[in-house]
Structure 1
Amino acid sequence: MINRKLFIGLVISLVLAFVFTWVTFNNENVFWYFYSFTTLFLTASSFYFSKLEDQLKTFNYLFWGIVYGIGTYLLCFLGLQLLELLPSQATKEVSHFFGVFAPSALWHYILLFFIIIPGEEFFWRGFIQNAVKNWFSPTLAILTSSVLYGASFIVSGFYIGVFFAIIVGIIFGWLYEKKKSMPLNIVAHIVFLLMLFLVLPLI
């Protein structure tokens, strides 16, 4: 039997998430403000419609978060090397996206680590993935939420990034399904983006 409240909440939240993301990426000058607002909305939806899990001790989720964050970065690094085999337009697309939307100020990183990353994990893994499990198997739920997560970036015009977002979504989705720890996912996501933007930038 379909949980009508959950289903309606799922549909409305997804529609608004895509609309807000579209508005965000079409306003480059206020991107960080709009995207922070979007993820605050996603966080509110997550807490209203779902129960987030935390079944690991602090040391465990910190350790495994670092391991999976670095591992995800290395996977993306290898993927970017393959882009060198593609037409130059692909690498130009990557350079353009990072040049416009990558964090460049301290307050960008504060918003990223304390609002945006937790909000994305709460919504896409904690809410969407868990909600879809009401109708599909865990594997299909991970794939579905990951495709939706990647598709939300289509409006940015960063189509290579959509592919990478789906892959990252699958990794983090599998991680949440297996470890049942939202803090672990958040730490892994933070470490991944720290590597991506600060430690060993890909561009």
Structure 2
Amino acid sequence: MAAFYIEPDLKQTQQNKLFSTVILPFFLACALFFPLFVFQNLGFLDFWWWMSVNIVLLVSFGFLIDSSYKDYLKRDFQSGSGKKIVLGILSAVILYGIFYAAGECSRIILHSAERNIDSIYGLKQGSSLLKIWLLMALVIGPGEELFWRGFLQRNWERRFGKYSGFLLCVLMYAFVHLGSGNPVLVLAAALCGLFWGGLFLWKKSVLLVAVSHAVWDVLIFLVFPL
């Protein structure tokens, strides 16, 4: 009996990719982050443990959906890693300086800014600073970049175009912070999304932005709070 080869339905394949790399990540991120910012605690999980669990779930999702992701990261970590780490640290310091200036300006312009900023730092209350430091440096900071830039932005740039994919990821990153009800946090997320997304757009290195995010987190939350 002659064997027949049936060509895959290209349209169906494209629809599947649209669902797995655009629609599903959007709803998954919203489903994980909105309750986190609204309730801040989930049973025995405080805000930091809950956020860490969410990040692990999102990163795992990225690896599950994108079969090329592991090889992409391997090449990234094996090529010029020392330079990327140094640039990541320097960029974190630059971003801290931007936030310091923005924080001072917001306190002058917005009467509610001080209260909004204090509520962000209030998330540290009742939690071990060592625990927060470890989770930020090892899970939250790197994990966010693995998902938002390494998986999402990289795939959205391929689907929507370089700059459109970048800007859409910035908007989504800010959007999932709306559950906090804190305009300063939403604006901060948008600024961070622009900064790290821009770095990724420029250097295409998850290692670089992961180091930058982790160092910045520790600087702004624990070492030199605003």
Normalised to the residue count of structure 1, the TM-score between the two structures is 0.90
Match of 1:133 among 157, 162, 172: 157
Structure with bigger gyration radius: 2
- 8 Å CA contact 1:113, 1:190 repeated in 2: yes
Question: 2:26 corresponds to which letter in structure 1?
Answer: L
- 2-side partners of 1:140 and 1:104: how far apart? 40
Give the match for residue 202 of structure 2: 178
User: Where do 5+ consecutive residues of structure 2 fail to align?
Assistant: 1-10
Give the match for residue 46 of structure 1: 62
1:59-98 per-position Cα deviation (integer Å, ceiling 9, x unaligned): 1011101111111111111111111222321221111121
1:109-140 per-position Cα deviation (integer Å, ceiling 9, x unaligned): 22222121122111111111112123322122
Q: Percent identity?
A: 25
Count the aligned residue pairs.
Answer: 202
- C-alpha displacement of 1:104: 4.5
Give the match for residue 6 of structure 1: 17
Question: 1:23 corresponds to which letter in structure 2?
Answer: P
- C-alpha displacement of 1:101: 4.8
Matching of residues 1-203 of structure 1 within 5 Å: 3-9=14-20, 10-29=22-41, 30-50=46-66, 51=69, 52-53=72-73, 54=76, 56-101=79-124, 104-202=128-226
Deviates more, 1:42-51 or 1:123-132: 42-51
Provide the secondary structure at the position in 1 that maps to 2:112: helix
Provide the secondary structure at the position in 1 that maps to 2:168: helix
- 8 Å CA contact 1:149, 1:166 repeated in 2: yes
Normalised to the residue count of structure 2, the TM-score between the two structures is 0.82
